[in-house]
Amino acid sequence: METTIGIAIVGTGAIAKSHIIAYQTFSESCSIRALCDIYPEKAKALASEMGLEVDVYADYHEMLKRTDIQVVSICLPPSVHAEVSIASMDAKKHVLVEKPMAPSLAECDAMIEASQRNNVVFSPVAQNRFRTPMMRLKTMLDSKVAGNVLHATINSLWWRGQNYYDLWWRGTWEKECGGCTTSHAVHQLDLMQWMLGMPQEVTAVMANVGHDNSECEDLAIAIFSYPGMLAQMTASIVAHDEGQELVFQTEQARLSAPWNVAASKALENGFPEDATETAARLDSIYGQLPSLEAERHVG
């Protein structure tokens, strides 16, 4: 009886390599059996580069007829995520789909419904949850060892040149379905709602300030309202000092990823001084939390 899980990957652009490496890490339990791309020569080149002996398809419908494939990784432009995901699940395949899940709530709902209807596993990629610093930080927040969160700052700061949008589908509402918010900050937004839950209210503005060959935003700023707390996010691809950071100001300390802790206490006049003992206590707790055995796409 077949004991390994059969894998197919639809779309052989840059992100497909991360999926291949992840599956190859678990070669004792899964086997990549097919690659699919509307440009078959591209799929063949990737198979050769990654040392894969697989069948190559131009039509994913043909590939889905195979009974030795149980899982489909979808690494396509966002505009077709829903179409290919639903077709795969209707073929009784489990699905792992790259971010963003889909460009509309209606499509997202349809994807979830297809998973439930066919009793298959459906998962959008959220690889940054599977990182030791993020898992440790979430544990710290969930346990409230530093008290309640009062304010969060989420920064997704990147820089991209004009030629970044030379790729045919980037920077279009029809194909990429958004700009820096869905293509870059989606990771930080996912981490925020994973750690804090869904906000009660969102206020946001966005603009294209530096890429006239893109239809979509290259800068977005949002404020999220929670009971007893506010969070703010900046998503940008015009930031020369690239950096991604999640900062949580709690009742007792500042906790952040990348990991850093700082704490203050009040002097007699209400001004701050360093609360070194509190910071040291929290740093010790963080350092004793377990590390993940597998991270990112491998996790």
- The string of DSSP letters for 245-280 reads EEEEEESS-EEEETTEEE-EEE-TTS-EEE-HHHHH
Could you give the CA distance from residue 96 to residue 98 in angstroms, rounded to a whole number?
A: 7
Using CA atoms, how far residue 248 sits from 30, 141, 177, 254, in Å, is: 39, 9, 30, 6
In the predicted structure, residue 247 carries a pLDDT above the cut 80:
yes
- What does the pLDDT read at residue 140? 98
Q: What are the strands of the beta sheet with 201-207, ordered from one edge? A: 201-207, 219-226, 229-236, 149-159, 238-250, 254-257, 260-262
Percent of the chain, pLDDT > 90? 92
Token couple for 235: 């998503």
Letter string b/e over residues 111-121, b meaning 16 or more CB atoms within 10 A of that residue's CB: beebbeebebe
0.85 cut: is pTM over it? yes
> For tokens 């991604």, what's the residue?
244
Could you give the CA distance from residue 255 to residue 111 in angstroms, rounded to a whole number?
A: 35
Boundaries of every domain in the chain: 5-125, 129-298
Residues 6+ apart with CB under 8 A from 216: 171, 172, 173, 176, 178, 179, 180, 208
**What CATH class is the domain 5-125?**
alpha beta
Q: Are 103 and 177 in contact (CB under 8 A)?
A: yes
Q: Are 179 and 216 in contact (CB under 8 A)?
A: yes
Read off the pLDDT of each residue in 102-115 and give the average, rounded to a whole number: 96
Percent of the chain, pLDDT > 70? 99
Read off the pLDDT of each residue in 160-178 and give the average, rounded to a whole number: 90
5-125 and 129-298: identical CATH topology: no
- What does the pLDDT read at residue 113? 98
Read off the pLDDT of each residue in 220-242 and give the average, rounded to a whole number: 97
Q: How confident is the model at residue 299 (pLDDT cuts 50, 70, 90)?
A: low
Q: How confident is the model at residue 1 (pLDDT cuts 50, 70, 90)?
A: low
Stated length of the chain: 299
Q: Which CATH architecture has domain 129-298?
A: 2-Layer Sandwich (3.30)
- What does the pLDDT read at residue 176? 87
